[in-house]
Amino acid sequence: MGEDKKENVSYDYLSKLDFRVVRIVNAERVTGSEKLLRLEVDMGDGATRQIVAGIGKAYTPETLAGKEIIIAANLEPRMLMGLESKGMLLAARDEEGIPVLLCVEKDVPPGSKVS
């Protein structure tokens, strides 16, 4: 582990990223893809948001509903397999390279800022 080291960035640069806790409301496989899942997440402000993530080989849609995860919320939207993704979930990779979602230890309200 520890590969792909990146260059240092300033605290000002890092502070531009908006990390939030969200709750997964719904998850489903993306037609035509083995690894993409379409997630609907509760942002905590009465709104939901769609995120498309490449975690379909590590997680089934059924295991994700209700899970609280951390996302980068202020990325520019991106199209993946014809679906707009409005954020990026945070995950590490285990020793076998399988994605492991970053989750909160205790329940916190959706939309909570991560600092």
Q: What is the mean pLDDT, run by run of 10 residues, along the chain of 115 residues?
A: 81 95 98 97 96 97 97 98 98 95 95 95
pLDDT of 1: 56
Q: Token pair for residue 16?
A: 């531009």
pLDDT of 9: 93
Going through 4-107 in order, the beta strands assigned E by DSSP cover 19-29, 37-42, 48-53, 68-72, 78-80, 83-85, 88-89, 91-93, 99-101
Can you give the residue ranges of every domain in the chain? 16-106
End-to-end CA distance of the chain: 24
To 5 degrees, how large is the angle CA 23–CA 27–CA 30?
A: 140
Q: How far apart are CA 58 and CA 34, in angstroms?
A: 11
To 5 degrees, how large is the angle CA 33–CA 104–CA 75?
A: 55
CATH topology of domain 16-106: OB fold (Dihydrolipoamide Acetyltransferase, E2P) (2.40.50)
pLDDT of 98: 94
